Structure 1
Amino acid sequence: MPRRSILLFAAACFIIAASLAIVTVVVVTGREHGVTEASSATGQPTVGGPFQLVNQDGQTVDQTMLNGKWTLVFFGFTYCPDYCPTTLTGLAATKKQMGDKAKDLQIAFVSVDPARDTPKALKDYLESDGFPEGVVGLTGSPEQIAAVAKAYRAYYQKVGEGETYTMNHTLTVYLMGPDGKFRAPLAYDLGPQKSAQLIERVMARG
């Protein structure tokens, strides 16, 4: 093969290799930051938004309840046999890990089962031993719950009929900033220590 052809072939191989390396970096970076930095071209959050619900004391609240505080938003229901109580006890342990840094961190528990989860049902449930203190329970009409779930990209679905039905739902906990905008997701199986570390890192960035 002529020397010129060899050089051209080597250059082409180098360009292809470099291109693949760039793609790899983009893919890895996207996987690492894609969700935590989720925002549209306008700078508005792609997770979260306006809502109007009722808390466990029967008071109407909206998205302004997020203002000025860091908030962990979690979707579930009081009849949940395992994931919801496990998540709530895990969040209690997370706040304990954080110590004084958790003083401005509130937890909002949004019911995906408004037919059964009245304000009183939420109040009784959230006062259970082992759950975090001061959790804000939120419920509303089916339409209001559908709207807030859509805003937070949270999935839920009724399974079964009669009094024994259950609900499938998203397990992710959403960390919202003091400006009411989405900051990071907390995976269900992350654990209190890693959850605390993640929240503290995000808080440090503001």
Structure 2
Amino acid sequence: MPTRPWLRRLVVAELAAIAIVLAVVGWYVWQSRAAPSLNGMLLDPPQEIPAIQLTGSDGQPHALTDFQGKVTVVFFGYTHCPDVCPMTASTMARARAMLGNQADRVQLVFVSVDPERDSPERLASYLAKYDPTFLGLTGDEDRIRELATVFGVHYAKVESTSALGYLVEHTSSSFVLDTQGKLRAVLPFGLTPEQVASDLRALLRR
């Protein structure tokens, strides 16, 4: 018995609709794998970072673009900081330790917003208490300000009666560069080491 034309058209339309649904589902599955869910904020597309050189806690010149091939966590702070900086350094050290054999693929860089007091030697001593692989950067105030502006980081000296001397108010988020040296994610202050480690694993898989 010959197939009615309207029935043939209906079957074709249904097959086309199914194909569209499958394509949409496939796209969402691909997106979910390509863009991991993070506790922090994923930047897509990632942002280019200029090669601004500062002096490292190892006494050598470094730019953030030097660490391509690794996931780099960047934090702006200072060694006289009474709260946010030691908490962040501790969190990052614990998160890195949780990565096991992937830990060597992660570099933390601590950019000083207090170059007046943070010499390379002081940064080295301070960071070694948390993780000997952490690298500090300090140097010319104008270059630090330029680099901070790239990340949208704000900081300002605040006079204080504290025994620590003056304080520096500063942005508390950390920033993650992907293996291509591009800004890929922002980690808000207050994440647990487990949450940070989870985000770093996701970014290492990309």
TM-score clears 0.5: yes
For residue 25 of structure 1, what is the aligned residue in structure 2?
Answer: none
1: CA distance, partners of 2:171 / 2:190: 13
Secondary structure at the residue paired with 1:185? strand
Mapped pair 1:63 → 2:102? no
For residue 18 of structure 2, what is the aligned residue in structure 1?
Answer: none
For residue 85 of structure 1, what is the aligned residue in structure 2?
Answer: 86
For residue 159 of structure 2, what is the aligned residue in structure 1?
Answer: 160
For residue 117 of structure 1, what is the aligned residue in structure 2?
Answer: 118
CA contact (8 A) 2:75 2:111 kept: yes
2: CA distance, partners of 1:69 / 1:174: 14
CA deviation after TM superposition for structure 1 residue 150, in Å: 0.8
2: CA distance, partners of 1:89 / 1:147: 27
For residue 20 of structure 1, what is the aligned residue in structure 2?
Answer: none
Segments of 5+ residues of structure 2 without an aligned counterpart are: 1-36
Which amino acid in the other structure matches residue 198 of structure 1?
D
Deviations 1:146-186 (A, max 9, x none): 01101111111111179711001111111111111011111
For residue 148 of structure 1, what is the aligned residue in structure 2?
Answer: 147
Provide the aligned C-alpha RMSD in A: 2.2
CA deviation after TM superposition for structure 1 residue 134, in Å: 0.7
Mapped pair 1:73 → 2:64? no
TM-score (normalised: structure 2): 0.74
Secondary structure at the residue paired with 2:58? coil
For residue 170 of structure 1, what is the aligned residue in structure 2?
Answer: 171
1: CA distance, partners of 2:148 / 2:134: 18
Which amino acid in the other structure matches residue 88 of structure 1?
A
Secondary structure at the residue paired with 1:164? coil
2: CA distance, partners of 1:96 / 1:63: 22
CA deviation after TM superposition for structure 1 residue 139, in Å: 0.3
Structure 1 segments, 4+ long, off by >6 Å, are none
Highest CA radius of gyration, 1 or 2? 2
CA contact (8 A) 1:119 1:139 kept: yes
Segments of 5+ residues of structure 1 without an aligned counterpart are: 1-31
Count of equivalent residues: 167
Which amino acid in the other structure matches residue 147 of structure 2?
V
For residue 10 of structure 2, what is the aligned residue in structure 1?
Answer: none
CA deviation after TM superposition for structure 1 residue 38, in Å: 4.6
For residue 26 of structure 2, what is the aligned residue in structure 1?
Answer: none
2: CA distance, partners of 1:35 / 1:191: 15
CA contact (8 A) 1:49 1:152 kept: no
CA deviation after TM superposition for structure 1 residue 35, in Å: 4.7
